[in-house]
Amino acid sequence: MENRTFKDLVKSCRSFRGYDESRKVTREELEDMVDCARCTASSVNLQPLKYRLVYDEATVRQLQHLVKWASMLPDAKLPHPGHGPAAFIVICQDTDVSNSIPRFQKDVGIAAQTILLAAAEKGLGGCMLGSYNPAETVKLLNLAPNLAPVLVVAIGKPDETVVLREIDEGEPTKYYRDNSDVHYVPKRKLKDVLI
């Protein structure tokens, strides 16, 4: 992965929904991703986010059943059997630090994107999963009452092709898959997002 620019890293940092299950992700790798995230900006520097690392196979499988993937593709069963993520990072808000969860949603986005960029640098990938069962996640992970899960981030070695496709103004932005299971992500052109 030599000579990659930051833009290359950003473009490789996609939402992956298929993984090579033979590539395990270590606690040390996950800790490094969180270490990158904890150094980012936080609203009024309160730093209310805490991170639960999930990497043992049994808990990963159980958590996999509590998340929903690719809501824009309701007929797709993703990840395909045998192509699940090796790990998850569950981002929680410590309500003892601040119980204003909506205020810190931007912090969650910054942290999650930083985690995924750190994963991409390691040749890994992931997916931010906002559709999950919070109550069952708390129960499964035995989270303290002050830790509210706000986002689940899947991590693993990507095992699918994701293609960015520039679109003309007015074209739909809905992602889709072709008959070969290639995942296409329509992106507006730079000229169409500049004001």
- Classify domain 6-160 at the CATH class level: alpha beta
Domain ranges of the chain: 6-160, 165-195
pLDDT(1) > 60: no
Q: DSSP 3-state assignment of 162?
A: strand
Give mean pLDDT, residues 3-21: 92
Q: Over pLDDT 90: what percentage of the chain?
A: 91
Average pLDDT taken over every residue of the chain: 94
What's the Cα-to-Cα distance from 130 to each of 3, 37, 134, 150, rounded to whole Å? 33, 18, 10, 8
For residue 100, what pLDDT is reported?
84
2 or 77: which leads in pLDDT: 77
Q: For 118-143, how does the pLDDT look when each residue is reduced to its tens digit (9 = 90+)?
A: 999 999 999 999 999 999 999 999 99
pTM greater than 0.85 (yes/no): yes
pLDDT(166) > 70: yes
For residue 70, what pLDDT is reported?
87
Q: How sure is the predictor about 2, in pLDDT bands with cuts at 50, 70 and 90?
A: low
Reported as type and span, the H/E element at residue 151 is strand 147-156
Q: For 53-94, how does the pLDDT look when each residue is reduced to its tens digit (9 = 90+)?
A: 999 999 999 999 999 998 888 888 899 999 999 999 999 999
Give mean pLDDT, residues 149-167: 97
Q: Looking at the domain 165-195, which fold is it?
A: putative fmn-dependent nitroreductase like fold (2.20.180)
- Order of strands across the sheet that contains 183-188: 162-167, 183-188, 176-177
For residue 164, what pLDDT is reported?
95
CA distance 143 to 132: 15
CA distance 163 to 176: 10
Total residues belonging to the chain: 195
Long-range pairs, 71-76, Cβ under 8 A, ≥24: 71/131, 72/174, 72/175, 73/175, 73/176, 73/177, 76/177
Give yes or no for a contact between 104 and 93, defined as CB atoms under 8 angstroms apart. yes
For residue 191, what pLDDT is reported?
95
For residue 75, what pLDDT is reported?
84
For residue 179, what pLDDT is reported?
93
Q: How far is CA 155 from the centre of its chain?
A: 7
CA atoms within 13 A on the CB side of 101: 12
